[in-house]
Amino acid sequence: MNGRTAAATALGVAALGLLAGCTSTAQAAPAASPAGPAKDGTYRATGDYDTPGGPESVDVTLTVRSGVVTAVHVTGSHITPNAQHYQAAFESGISGVVVGKRLAGLSVGAVSGSSLTGQGFDQALDSIRVEAAK
Amino acid sequence: MTGAVTAFDAIGTRWRITTGRVLTADERAAVDDLVEEYDRTFSRFRADSAVARLAATGGPVDLGRSAPALLGLLQRLAALTRGAMTPLIGGSLEHLGYDAGYRLAAAPGYRAAPPIESLHVDGSTATLTAPAVLDVGAAGKGQLVDLVLALLQGAGHTTCTVDAGGDLRIAGGPVRVALEHPFDPDAAIGVVTVADAAVAGSAPNRRRWTSPDGRRLHHVLDGRTGEPVDTVAATWAVAGTAMLADALATALFLVPPEELEPEFDFTWLRMATDGRAHWSPRLPAEVFA
């Protein structure tokens, strides 16, 4: 792995904002909508954020195919000592950009994830949407 | 695994129990009783729970036979994460509207959790020395999975899978478990293959809500600030028990895996919000990266 990977991880806050921006342009989301899949395409944005090591900026390019992020390119303005610490820490693991596979094509006995949220929470979101539509 | 499937909704999630033979009516009733007893003790979302009584009175309140292991683990993780992960996070969640009424109407700002030293545990009895709301959500669902599995094993089900909304434990196996893509519920980012072990994941993206002042919120908070953690999109842990896997999946949001590895026997995967994943070399997985 290299410094770019480490920086990208430490800079997740900025990237989340960018992802959220992509999704909100792809759909007329109600205020309480959970994040949905984005439209196909390449998204590019620059984000600024504050770290304990000082302000940094990050360029992110995302490629989305069939609602799945298939490529990510992240460039940070510089690497802080904190990010370098992250880099050293992550060398004990393996890293890579996630490329999703359709669940329908996988032979599995179970799925571990967040789609099965509680009914109470989903109902609360639904009621908020109804309120928002009034 | 193939077998008989028992599915039901409880503690706010979908349960799916797979066993070699169909559960008897007595076994099914025993599972329901166990889940109800646990919920009545630990649910922050019902007014008649022991945890609600603890929040209202400060205790002492007896939290039952499951409490020593559960609270012991959560106290240990609070110390290891220097308060970032804490079972006293309930008040911070309520501040953001994630309360018994699911109002999802956040008050302005964030509320940090009180220090973990405010919680005293003596056996199964808990006492609070400062106003606080206990929330065992980080490990409670996992512990209940372990308890249900133990009940079924005691009834002679030597091979079974207990799956509570994606946090699961397998007796026997191996079972292939897909890791759901946090940005796409129809896709997986990998598959772990697990035998006689537990898998738990955490991904708050589909449980998001928006505050009146426009903040996008979710329920995995840093106890030191009370703010949602937005650098991590999803985590998974594979461990011997579902309680440990569940707790470590949350801990992975708050500290690097390397800080947890010397303390617990587990493997992990952590995906950042930019789409990059890191995983432990020993993870029994194929990751699509």
> How many contacts (CB atoms, under 8 Å) link A and B?
232
Task: Looking at mean pLDDT, say which of A3-7, A46-50, A127-131, B125-129 comes out highest.
Answer: B125-129
Of residues B19 and B166, which shows the higher confidence score? B19
Higher pLDDT among residues A29 and B184, named by residue: B184
Q: Give the model's confidence band at B283: pLDDT under 50 very low, under 70 low, under 90 confident, else very high.
A: very high
Task: Report yes or no: B117 and B110 within 8 Å, Cβ to Cβ.
Answer: no
pLDDT for position A78: 42
Query: What is the DSSP code string of B71-130?
Result: HHHHHHHHHHTTTSS-TTTHHHHHHTT-STT----PPSS--PPPPGGGEEEETTEEEESS
Mean confidence (pLDDT) of chain A: 52
A-chain residues near B180 (CB < 8 A): 103, 111-115
Residue A14's pLDDT is 32
Is residue A59 over pLDDT 70? no
The overall average pLDDT reported for chain B is 93
**C-alpha to C-alpha distance for B194 and B171, rounded to whole angstroms:** 10
CA distances from A98 to B25, B109, B188, B196 (A): 44, 34, 9, 27
pLDDT above 70: percentage of residues in chain B: 99
Per-residue pLDDT band for B74 (boundaries 50, 70, 90) equals: very high
Q: Tokens in use for A50? A: 């504050």
- Report the alpha-carbon distance of residue B89 to residue A110 in Å, rounded: 30
* Most B CBs within 10 Å, among A64, A73, A114, to test the B interface: A114
Q: At what angle do helices B25-42 and B140-154 cross, to 10 degrees?
A: 150
Question: A132 — contact with chain B (CB < 8 Å)?
Answer: no
Instruction: Output the six-digit token pair for B157.
Output: 């089900």
Cβ separation A98–B186 shorter than 8 A: no
Residues 6-25 on A with a CB inside 8 Å of B are: 8-13, 15-16, 19-20
Whether residue A47 is predicted with pLDDT greater than 90 in this model: the reply is no
Average confidence (pLDDT) over B236-251? 98
- Quickly list DSSP for A74-120: EEES---HHHHHHHHHHTTSEEEE---EEGGGS--SEEESSSS--HH
pTM, two decimal places = 0.77
Query: Which range is least confidently modeled, A7-11, B81-85, B203-207, B231-235?
Result: A7-11
Which carries the bigger pLDDT value, residue A10 or residue B259? B259
CA atoms A134, A126, B132, B33: torsion sign: positive
What's the pLDDT at B104?
A: 82
Residue B207 and residue A114 in contact, taking contact as beta carbons nearer than 8 Å: yes
- B11 to chain A: which residues are within 8 Å by CB? 118
Cβ B289–A97 below 8 Å, yes or no? yes
In this prediction, residue A46 has a pLDDT band, given cuts at 50, 70 and 90, of low
CA–CA dist B271, B273 (Å, integer): 7
Domain boundaries of chain B, sorted by first residue: 4-287
CB B190 within 8 A of CB B288: yes
Tens of pLDDT, residue by residue over B171-215, are: 999 999 999 998 888 899 999 999 999 999 998 876 788 888 888
Per-residue pLDDT of B132-157, as tens digits, reads 999 998 999 999 999 999 999 999 99
pLDDT band at A133 (very low <50, low <70, confident <90, very high): very low
Proportion of chain A in helix, strand, coil states, percent, rounded to 5: 40, 30, 30
Residue pLDDT, tens place only, A99-126: 888 888 888 888 898 655 444 555 555 5
**pLDDT higher than 80, residue B86:** yes
Structure-model confidence comparison of residues A126 and B246, the more confident one: B246
Average pLDDT score over residue span A74-85? 45
Which tokens sit at B205?
């993206």
Higher pLDDT, B87 or B99: B87
Domain boundaries, chain A: 3-102+111-133
Whether A11 shows a pLDDT value over 50: the answer reads no
User: What is the homologous superfamily of the domain B4-287 according to CATH?
Assistant: ApbE-like domains (3.10.520.10)
Do A108 and B9 lie within an 8 Å CB cutoff? Answer: no
